[in-house]
Structure 1
Amino acid sequence: MKAVLMKAAGSPEVLQLQEVPTPSIPLDNTQLLVRLVAAGINPIDTKLRKRGTFYPDQMPAILGCDGAGVVEAVGAGVQKFRPGDAVYFCYGGLGGHQGNYAEYTVVDERFVARKPASVSFAEAAAAPLVLITAWEALYERGRLEPGERVLIHAGAGGVGHVAIQLAKLKNAAVATTVSTPEKADFVQQLGADYPIFYKQTDFVQATLDWTDGGGVDLAFDTVGGETFQKTFPAVRVYGDIVTILEPDANTVWKTARNRNLRIGLELMLTPMLLGMDESLQHHGEILEQCANWMEQGKLKIQVNHQFPLKDAAKAHELIETGAIAGKIVLLISDE
């Protein structure tokens, strides 16, 4: 099969399209052989490419956590899927198990969900990592309740644009930071109540004005760096802030402590890194629920750029600009 290999860490040019053996599945297990139609591109892919994977002794590596495709073969223990079923999932691509920048992969059925019939393979492939991240951050770390007020940073981004929709599905009120009028229009189409132009406006003061001085119940930081610390005073006393980035070593925690904030750290890759199969099964369950919402028209994935598999390096160059809205996808085969 064709796959994009990374033989060493470095610039996007280290990603090279080559022929590699097609994986196979043992007949007595619960694994699926999936013919991949599309693979999602995420910032974690570029970080692993630049810095090296989590498993440097297992090189070369095939990156790509997100995939969507068609089941080609099933193990004897498989119960939910049959050959010909369309599926999507987040599994592999960290340097151990093969990722999805390839024509085929193997994944356990427990970690997989049916692809919504109403969305394309490209949209499905763009969805898993950001959906699971936003779900865990809002619903599990942040314990979001109906009627609460939420501040979501970078609402037009990959994680942000699905976080807005998941928050609205909980009947929350959503403020979100954006950089341009076009992005403001985009997030409002998704249901955001209050776009904040953070380059022209103090987002903390804007948030406090929006909440009559009290602060939001939950802030979701998808940016990191100084934005995380700056957000503390925008959160109500005894409120929550969840970040998907590692807090900077120089973070000053005084405001967070004085306001008695509950700090949540969200890394949806933890189950893969620690081999936690039950949690990976929960990821499959999250994707099943999100598939239902997508089919009902309640949840949409914005794919703004598509590249053929051979142009994975160009896709990495684009995502590293940090200026795009929505998601980037690799198209692997026609379907």
Structure 2
Amino acid sequence: MSPRKLIRTVRFHELGGPEVLTIDSLASPSLQANDVRIAVKVVGLNRADAMFRRGSYIEKADFPSRIGYEASGIVIEVGEEVNHLRLGDEVCIVPQMGLSQNGCYAEEVVVPNEYVALKPAGLTFAEGAAAWMQYLTAYGALVEIANVQKGDAVLITASSSSVGLAAIQIVNALGGIPIATTLTGAKKAAVLKAGAAHVIATQEEPLLDSLRGILGANNLKVAFDAVGGPQIAEIAEAMSPEGTIIVHGALSPEVTPFPLKIALRKSLTVRGYVFTEVIKDIERFRRAKQFIHSGLSEGTL
């Protein structure tokens, strides 16, 4: 039996900055019946990857650890039970769990077929490698959990991030009203151009008063918050009765208080969220892939 080909693979053996990354030569993994082998063209760089490498992400590294949630490439082999993909197909690798084992920073990867999506024809390999994490994160919160409907006002904090921009697009696609926040007015014009109906610069404008000025009192249906910290109380005060606050990040270094009395008075739902909620659920994951692929193909995302 001839030895398996060696594949250059990015790994790290200790926590730290980019300097801990190494290029290791690993034997090409064997292909199972439901797997797809992909020659990687481009890898995506995510905040989650950097946090994972530093040890500050919700998922912890198991050394030596692979890294990389996203990539795009070309199918070079398929398992015997894979019927929807062919050799030569241009594909995207959708984020999956188990980053230490499944990271895709490598020149070749083997991926279970459910985490492989055809690259929309209008996207470059670079765009295909940088599309899925943000849309998957925003989709799960806004569609599967909040069930945003036409006319719903949705607050999106840290809106100039990739997830924030994806959320703006998804809210617009659903017929909602995206109200975005940034720290300063420097990015206001860009966020408005990206599709936000309103933008609030939170270091320059009072958040609660601004929301009330835009919507009136108690008319914010959903908040998709990447920041946390003290402003969660202002967000809660702006919410409509039975509104939903979804916290998916902790950019604020300050403690995030639970707005108990406001939540009781308004019957609010306040909950944490990570994108893995979607990929753990077969039906949610199927719907997410269909929604995102259709949106990218049709240009609504």
Q: For 1:64, which of 46, 68, 77 is the aligned residue?
A: 68
- Tell me which of 125, 131, 135 is aligned to 1:127: 131
Residue 199 of structure 1 deviates from its aligned partner by 1.1
Normalising by structure 2, we get a TM-score of 0.88
After TM superposition, the structure 1 = structure 2 runs for residues 81-100 of structure 1, keeping only pairs within 5 Å, are 81-92=85-96, 94-100=98-104
| Preserved contact between residue 93 and residue 99 of structure 1 (Cα < 8 Å) | no
Do the aligned residues in 2 keep the contact of 1:243 with 1:265 (CA within 8 Å)? yes
What is the RMSD of the two structures over their aligned residues, measured on CA atoms?
2.3
Report the equivalent of 1:168.
172
Partner amino acid for 2:25? E
CA distance in 1, matches of 2:20, 2:283: 33
What residue number does 2:117 align with?
A: 113
Q: Is residue 197 from structure 1 mapped to residue 201 from structure 2 by the alignment?
A: yes
Counterpart-to-counterpart distance in 2, 1:55 and 1:126: 22
Q: Which TM-score applies when normalising by structure 1?
A: 0.80
Q: Which residue of 2 aligns with 1:232?
A: 236
User: Residue 187 and residue 36 in structure 1: after superposition, are their counterparts in 2 closer, same or farther (change >3 A)?
Assistant: same
Please give the residue correspondences for 1:233-272 in structure 2 after superposition, counting only pairs within 5 Å: 233-245=237-249, 250-270=257-277
C-alpha separation in 2, matches of 1:93 and 1:105: 15
Deviation at 1:55, TM superposition (A): 5.8
Residue 158 of structure 1 deviates from its aligned partner by: 1.2
Which residue of the partner structure matches residue 289 of structure 1?
Answer: 291
In 2: Cα distance, 1:208 partner to 1:200 partner: 16
Change (3 A) 1:280 1:103: farther
- Which residue number corresponds to residue 9 of structure 1? 15
* Structure 1 equivalent of residue 51 of structure 2: 47
The one-letter code matched in structure 1 to 2:271 is G
Q: Kindly provide the CA deviation profile for residues 221-256 of structure 1, in whole angstroms up to 9, marking residues without a partner as x.
A: 012233334421121121111111379575342222
Shift of 1:215: 3.1
Structure 2: tracts of 5 or more residues without a match: 1-6
The alignment of Structure 1 onto Structure 2 pairs a total of residues equal to 291
The letter for the 1-side match of 2:291 is Q
Query: Is the 2:248–2:274 Cα contact (8 Å) retained in structure 1?
Result: yes
d(CA) in 2 for partners of 1:180, 1:55: 33
The offset of 1:163, in angstroms, is 0.2
Gap change, CA 1:126 and 1:284, over 3 Å in 2: farther
Compared with structure 1, are the counterparts of its residues 5 and 196 closer, same or farther at alpha carbon in structure 2 (3 Å cutoff)? same
The Cα shift of 1:291 comes to: 2.2
Instruction: In structure 2, give the amino acid aligned to 1:261.
Output: L
Question: 1:75 is aligned with what amino acid?
Answer: G
- Answer whether contact 1:116 1:294 (CA < 8 A) is retained: yes
**Structure 2 letter corresponding to 1:91:** P
Distance 1:254 1:12 in 2: 44
Ranked by relative contact order (alpha carbons within 8 Å, sequence separation 6 or more), the top structure is 1
- Quote the offset at 1:100 in angstroms: 1.4
Query: Alpha-carbon deviation of 1:7?
Result: 0.5
Deviations 1:131-150 (A, max 9, x none): 11101111111111111111
Say which SS state the counterpart of residue 218 (structure 1) adopts: strand
Shift of 1:4: 1.5
Question: For the residues of structure 2 that align with 1:122 and 1:166, how far apart are their CA atoms?
Answer: 21
Match of 1:219 in 2: 223
- Unaligned 5+ runs, structure 1: 300-335
CA distance in 1 between counterparts of 2:126 and 2:223 reads 30
1:8-35 Cα offsets, whole Å, 9 max, x none, are 1123311122322222313xx1110111
Distance 1:229 1:7, change over 3 A: farther
Deviation at 1:91, TM superposition (A): 3.3
Q: Which residue of 1 aligns with 2:4?
A: none
- How far is 1:96 from its partner? 4.0
Q: What is the alpha-carbon distance in structure 2 between the residues aligned to residue 136 and residue 260 of structure 1?
A: 22
Q: Is the contact made by 2:140 and 2:278 (CA closer than 8 Å) also made in structure 1? A: no
